[in-house]
Structure 1
Amino acid sequence: MSNEPGGYALGRRPGLDGLRGVAVLLVVSGHSLGSRNSAGTVGVTLFFALSGFLITRILVEERARTGGINYRGFLVRRIRRLAPALAAFLVVAAVICIVNHFPLTWVVLPAVYATNLAMAAGEPVQLTGHTWSLGLEEQFYLLWPPLVMLALRRRRAPVITLAALVLLVTMWRAVAIGLGWPYLRVGYGPDMRIDAIIAGCLLAFVADRLRHLPSAAAVWAGAVLLALCLPERLETNAAMMPLATVCAAVVVAVAASRTPRVLALGPLTRLGGISYGVYLWHAPAAMARPHGLVMLPVVLTVSIAIAALSWRLVEARFLTYKVPHDVSLDSSASSTQPSAPASPQEGKPAVPARSRIEGAITREHS
């Protein structure tokens, strides 16, 4: 299978914005309703699959345009998109921790993207525990661009290798569950939850073939994902968690190849546009008691309001910073060759196109 982009171009795809909106709704719902559901886990799994697809597709198309991958530029864009909102959130979290005598490690760990590592080691993290998924993504994406560059130097895309990795993670998690490993280790360990990101990466290498997947597949996969929201601690179920990963990949594949009407609805796409902020800010509100249906509209309204302010006052200001273009991962490409901007994905007119795509990816999670 060729590793070239073929006839597929990422472009602006409202369906992906809408899918982010669905994912963050699931996360907020899961945390607002309490611990007796897995909606948050399903939402995070969707975010992971979408993230892997978008990031990898951006890298693949950059390599096709320029002959290389600008690694430094990639990292700068990630920091520029994620760090300002996270910093604002952590300032507020620090105040909450000081006032309530909570451990300040709850602030330090997210600042260095290590929440998932601490939790997997057995340290419970509240208030900022939801940043575990951000840590997992950043750890993966520090290593992923060079690996993509190596893969693209071959004549065939690493589809079989990625599929084997997904299977390997699935089997490893099943072994851990069978051995009775602690919930925190199974639920938050990088080696236990990376499969959905890898599945999304796989989709990016076969993007030109996704149009062959029938839309009905996404309908059935979406129905299964909703059903998987009902049981507790889905991530520790050796049979159902892989099903969630597969279904999330199917939904992402369909949304990436066409625009399902339900995902193109204005409220969903607008929510998807600020899903990262909503994800960050929903946790403190969701910690309030009691949990239940009455809390969901309250948490969602508060989160959306703060996220909208964060976008206007904090995040958007940093997205106009010029990205350096002087470090390529391909020695055959000029070290000063600029990377052409990718097509818009996030739909913020005042923000450079490429920033909109990468800005859309991180959001999440449980």
Structure 2
Amino acid sequence: MSFPSTFQHALAAVRRVNRQPADGSRRIAQLDGLRAVAVLMVIVFHLEIGVGIGGMFGVDLFLVLSGFLITGVLVGEYRARGTVSVRRFYERRLLRLYPALVLMIVVLVPFGSLLNAEGSWGVWWQSVAAALTYTSTIVLIFNTHFDMGALGQTWTLAVEEQFYLLWAPICALALAHVVRLRRMALVVAAVAVALLSIFWWAWSPVDPIGGIALYYRPDPRFGELLLGAALALVLTSAAGKLTRRWDVLLSVGAVAGLVGLWWARRNYPTLWGLDGNPLAAIPLVGVCATLIVARLATSNASILSRLLRIPPLPYVGKISYGLYLWHVPVIVLMARAGAGKGVAVVVTFAAAMLSFHLVEMPFLRMKARLRSTGVAGLDAVERAPVAEAAGGAAAAGAAVAALGAAPVAEGVLGAAALAQPGEQTV
């Protein structure tokens, strides 16, 4: 088979993936595009090419979007069946996340001692155990000097799985006993704000090691996931009834966030350096990320939605899980082999594509058989009569505000580097 024909077959396969999701769920192309932007931010940050894009912002986007979609799945199941099967929910999560993680670890086993700063097989196997049991956060909190090396990025997976473990039964119980989704959304939003505030009051400038532990703590990170959850509840309760007022609220929130960040930078410049609290921006970035997701989930026609649907962004978003898993070990191995960063990017994408098409998709088909209901809240994309001008301002303001806050949050990585030599992962 010639190269042109092979290339054409590859393109056809990509188009099929874009048209027909393997897990049977309804996909919103702009949300896949947002995943792509988030994972590319993280990859660029770890490549250390000096672009200055907030890798931390990519993580915040992932967490907010995950909370939004997962809650939408739970609410969608409840609305369709009158109940939520927590067991099936856990089974679906296992089928979605575990196969690709196990594949990566199995492939990396021969290189284990090369994938941590100590060059230790013992450290490698401890890191593997933490990754497979979703306890990376616990390891990093209670032993801030432990370097998980090329598996360090699994701390975000641990945060999500720990959240799912608690949120699924809580959400199912609340849906069964709470009459109004808006009331539930208010409670969830209040809890989210309370948890995110931990990043402000628990920080101590004289305890950089404690700052590292705070960065990985799951409880304040749950606040970002709950922001997405509150958004899903709001959109579900308002589906088909959104008016111009919704766009005005988005616009006001985005502009207020932007002005607030500008004011803080002007009047409290230490917030933008290691002398201040480098975690202070995480709650602000989380709110801005929520505004962005809200805009994308309520309109297919906005400028931001159209930009994020430009190929190949939606496809990159579909393979973003594999990209997130593979990019750190590939960067480490390519650096040890003396290969360039461009080679690392190519190998990362190749590994993620193989993982998605050969391993993840068969399990996604199995996952599809465990869920036939939709994602609540996403029906607002086609049904909401929103005002494009105000919505565009909201998206632009939220994006600028969030990107402006990202350099603050990145300061924690600098503090970690000062306190503990070795690679730190977002």
Q: For 1:320, what is the secondary structure of its paired residue?
A: helix
Kept in 2, the 8 Å contact 1:12–1:344? The answer is no
| Whole-angstrom distance in 2 between the partners of 1:213 and 1:275 | 29
Kept in 2, the 8 Å contact 1:15–1:264? The answer is yes
Shift of 1:194: 1.8
Provide Cα deviations, 1:274-317, integer angstroms capped at 9, x if missing partner. 000000000112336879xx965443322111100111221112
Q: How does 1:1-366 map to 2 (within 5 A)?
A: 11-33=26-48, 39-98=54-113, 100-102=119-121, 103=123, 104-122=125-143, 123-152=146-175, 153-157=177-181, 158-178=184-204, 180=207, 182-208=210-236, 209=238, 212-213=246-247, 237-259=278-300, 260-287=305-332, 297-321=342-366, 340-342=372-374, 366=426
Name the larger-Rg structure: 2
Shift of 1:12: 2.9
Kept in 2, the 8 Å contact 1:221–1:248? The answer is no
Shift of 1:39: 2.0
| Whole-angstrom distance in 2 between the partners of 1:222 and 1:22 | 21
| Whole-angstrom distance in 1 between the partners of 2:342 and 2:258 | 23
Shift of 1:101: 3.0
Q: For 2:43, what is the secondary structure of its paired residue?
A: helix
Kept in 2, the 8 Å contact 1:12–1:343? The answer is no
Q: For the structure 1 residues 106 and 51, does the alpha-carbon distance in structure 2 shift closer, same or farther, using more than 3 Å as the test?
A: same
Provide Cα deviations, 1:137-162, integer angstroms capped at 9, x if missing partner. 00110121111122212112322221
Shift of 1:15: 0.9
| Whole-angstrom distance in 1 between the partners of 2:149 and 2:33 | 29
Amino acid at match of 1:135: A
| Whole-angstrom distance in 2 between the partners of 1:283 and 1:11 | 30
Shift of 1:191: 1.7
Kept in 1, the 8 Å contact 2:45–2:54? The answer is yes
Deviates more, 1:138-147 or 1:231-240: 231-240
Q: For the structure 1 residues 320 and 12, does the alpha-carbon distance in structure 2 shift closer, same or farther, using more than 3 Å as the test?
A: closer
Q: For the structure 1 residues 295 and 43, does the alpha-carbon distance in structure 2 shift closer, same or farther, using more than 3 Å as the test?
A: farther
Q: For the structure 1 residues 221 and 25, does the alpha-carbon distance in structure 2 shift closer, same or farther, using more than 3 Å as the test?
A: farther
Amino acid at match of 2:285: A
After TM superposition, the score normalised by the length of structure 2 is 0.67
Shift of 1:169: 1.6
Kept in 2, the 8 Å contact 1:49–1:248? The answer is yes
Provide Cα deviations, 1:19-61, integer angstroms capped at 9, x if missing partner. 0001001110111117996722110100000000000001101
| Whole-angstrom distance in 1 between the partners of 2:333 and 2:293 | 32
As a proportion of its length, which structure holds more helix?
A: 2
Shift of 1:319: 2.2
| Whole-angstrom distance in 1 between the partners of 2:140 and 2:64 | 22
Kept in 2, the 8 Å contact 1:18–1:272? The answer is yes
Amino acid at match of 1:302: V
| Whole-angstrom distance in 2 between the partners of 1:90 and 1:190 | 23
| Whole-angstrom distance in 2 between the partners of 1:315 and 1:218 | 38
Deviates more, 1:282-291 or 1:90-99: 282-291
Q: For the structure 1 residues 11 and 166, does the alpha-carbon distance in structure 2 shift closer, same or farther, using more than 3 Å as the test?
A: same
Structure 2 gap segments, 5+ residues each: 1-24, 266-271, 378-424
After TM superposition, the score normalised by the length of structure 1 is 0.77
Structure 1 gap segments, 5+ residues each: 1-9, 326-338, 346-364
Shift of 1:216: 6.0
Amino acid at match of 2:92: R
Amino acid at match of 1:39: G
| Whole-angstrom distance in 2 between the partners of 1:159 and 1:36 | 37
Amino acid at match of 1:110: A
Q: Which residue in the other structure is 2:18 paired with?
A: none
Q: For 1:155, what is the secondary structure of its paired residue?
A: coil
Greater relative CO (CA pairs within 8 A, separation 6+): 1
Shift of 1:171: 2.3
Percent sequence identity over matched residues?
A: 34
Q: Which residue in the other structure is 1:354 paired with?
A: none
| Whole-angstrom distance in 1 between the partners of 2:275 and 2:225 | 17
Kept in 1, the 8 Å contact 2:257–2:284? The answer is no
Kept in 2, the 8 Å contact 1:28–1:299? The answer is no
| Whole-angstrom distance in 2 between the partners of 1:108 and 1:322 | 25
Shift of 1:257: 1.4
Q: For 1:72, what is the secondary structure of its paired residue?
A: helix
